[in-house]
Amino acid sequence: MSHYPLPIHFRSSFQYRLFRVFTLLTSLIALIFLTVYITFEIRNQRAHISAQLHLQAQHLAETIRLPLYAENRPVLQQLAEGATHQIPELRGVVITASNGKVLTDVRLPRSENNAGVIEETVEVRSDTLASSPESAISGGTEPGPTLIGRVSLKRSTEDLLLMSYRLVAISCAMAVGFWLTVSLICYLVLRQVTKSFNVLIQGIHAMQSGDLSARINVVSDDEPGRAANAVNDLADALAARTVELENANRELEAFNYSVSHDLRKPLTVIYSYCQFIQEFCSHNLDAQCREYLQEISDGSQRMNQLIGTLLEFASLTRTELYRCHVDLSEIAHTTAKGLVVTEPSRKVTLRIAEGITVKGDRNLLQVVMDNLLSNAWKFTSKKEDALIEFGVLEDEGMPAYYVRDNGSGFNMTHADKLFIPFHRLPGTGVDGHGIGLATVERIIKRHGGRVWAEGEPEKGATFYFTL
């Protein structure tokens, strides 16, 4: 589980995913309906045009019945040309006699575009009501109209093509309008539906960022609303527990400070008396006693230093942070000069990157740099050509500052114990209380950063920290 709130990207939100599904489904449905509608309409129009052409052919057949029977070509030609004038879409009229002989063939040039042609042929038959003299006088019925000929009309579908283009354009526009409207409605509905989810997520993020006083505003009694209530209850319990822990910690630190402070008084007395005896009564003591007395004095001195370190360590959590721009490079230079002064005989190469500035508490960051550079100085004491570096690199998109040395290093199996207070790695061979790196870790954590180390025995160590 991440300790940091994940950034809420719109693309990964529940609302966006639902919206995407809805809009995709809507567009798919709109596309299907659009295709079906256009196909149906075009077929319908084509059938309508065919039926219309059939009627026109039948009408022409009625008109030409007599001249066709008489095989009067000029009249047939005139009627066929008249039909092409009356119906501009006609591209051809062919009139044939019952024996197949073509009596009239009027053809017009086809349009330049790729429009097709529909053809309708109807038979021209004698009038169904008309009867022969024999039937008329006998009162009989005729067997059926006799075939006189055929008329065939060819019609261009150019207008159908244009109508299809127009139909597709209008339908697409309507489908897009429908899709946009439905999408907008979906978005508004989803925003309302997912409001409780968003409120829940925002509340959890606020708590996750450390604001334990933040509470989720419960806007509904649905599942997210109930989850918000549960999280609020959990936050209440967590806040109460935190208060308890803070109180206990504060009491513990106060106790620590009090004990450390109170221990200093008798220790000062012991040390003072040891100094007094060494100065005024040493001639009454033999060498053995003087040696013991010196041991007591040194021990009380070390204990005093330890108590001072403890007081300082305890004060780290008690002091307030004052964030400002801090030039770490400058601090590194200052600290390094101090170290060089303490042991001017040592030959140490210091490489300090310039212009590294951060935002943090100057005093605490000074402590961090002091501890890290002092450690590097100490653990390179046995090296002829010691090298200590301070710089910055990028780690997971964040600047990571480091102090590197080529000293005695450490085994990576002990890396997790480096920052435990008063814990010292075996075989280090240098003085210390084992509180420096624990102090560094606490300061970095108070800045919201992270500290870690990499090392290899006799090859050196690198300590990284972020802020």
Partner 1 sequence: MRRLLFVIIALATLLPSLAQAYDVLVLQSSHNTGYEQAFNGFRSDCKAPQRVVVLSDYVDVDVVRIVREERPRLILAIGDTALAATRKITQTPVIAVVALGINAKANLTGVTMFAPPEKYCNLFKQLKVHNVGVIHNPDKTGWYLDKAQKAAEKVGIKLIVRKVATPRETLAQLDSLAGKVDTLWMLPDTTAVTRETVEAYFRFGQHQAVPVVSFASSYLGLGAAAAVDINSTEMGRQAGDMANALLRGVRIDDIPRQAPRGTKYTINPNVLGKLDINDASE
The site for partner 1 (CB under 8 A) is made up of 65-67, 69-72, 126-127, 129-140, 142, 145-146, 148
Nearest-angstrom CA–CA distance, 271 and 294:
10
Nearest-angstrom CA–CA distance, 309 and 307:
5
Q: What's the min distance (Å) between Cβ of 148 and partner 1?
A: 6
Q: What's the min distance (Å) between Cβ of 152 and partner 1?
A: 21
Q: What's the min distance (Å) between Cβ of 135 and partner 1?
A: 8
Beta-strand ranges (E) seen in 275-385 are 323-327, 348-352, 357-361
Q: Residue 41 CB: number of other CB atoms within 10 A?
A: 15
Give me the residues paired with residue 430 across strands. none
Q: What's the min distance (Å) between Cβ of 79 and partner 1?
A: 14
User: CB-wise, 135 or 315, nearer to partner 1?
Assistant: 135
Classify the phi-psi angles of 378: left when phi > 0, otherwise alpha if psi is within -120 to 50, otherwise beta.
alpha
Q: What's the min distance (Å) between Cβ of 49 and partner 1?
A: 30
User: CB-wise, 145 or 299, nearer to partner 1?
Assistant: 145
Strand order in the sheet with 90-97: 102-107, 90-97, 147-156, 117-125
DSSP 31-97: HHHHHHHHHHHHHHHHHHHHHHHHHHHHHHHHHHHHHHHTT-HHHHHHHHHHHHHHSTTEEEEEEEE
Q: What's the min distance (Å) between Cβ of 99 and partner 1?
A: 13
- CB < 8 Å & 24+ apart, contacts of 196-201: 196/220, 196/222, 196/224, 196/225, 196/228, 197/14, 197/15, 197/224, 198/15, 199/224, 199/228, 200/224, 200/227, 200/228, 200/231, 201/8
User: CB-wise, 65 or 155, nearer to partner 1?
Assistant: 65
Nearest-angstrom CA–CA distance, 84 and 79:
9
User: CB-wise, 75 or 172, nearer to partner 1?
Assistant: 75
First to last CA, the chain: 21
Strand order in the sheet with 348-352: 348-352, 386-395, 398-405, 460-465, 451-456
Pairing of strands 348-352, 386-395: parallel
User: CB-wise, 49 or 148, nearer to partner 1?
Assistant: 148
User: CB-wise, 82 or 421, nearer to partner 1?
Assistant: 82
User: CB-wise, 149 or 436, nearer to partner 1?
Assistant: 149
Q: What's the min distance (Å) between Cβ of 31 and partner 1?
A: 56
User: CB-wise, 79 or 199, nearer to partner 1?
Assistant: 79
User: CB-wise, 141 or 345, nearer to partner 1?
Assistant: 141
Q: What's the min distance (Å) between Cβ of 54 and partner 1?
A: 22
Q: What's the min distance (Å) between Cβ of 102 and partner 1?
A: 18
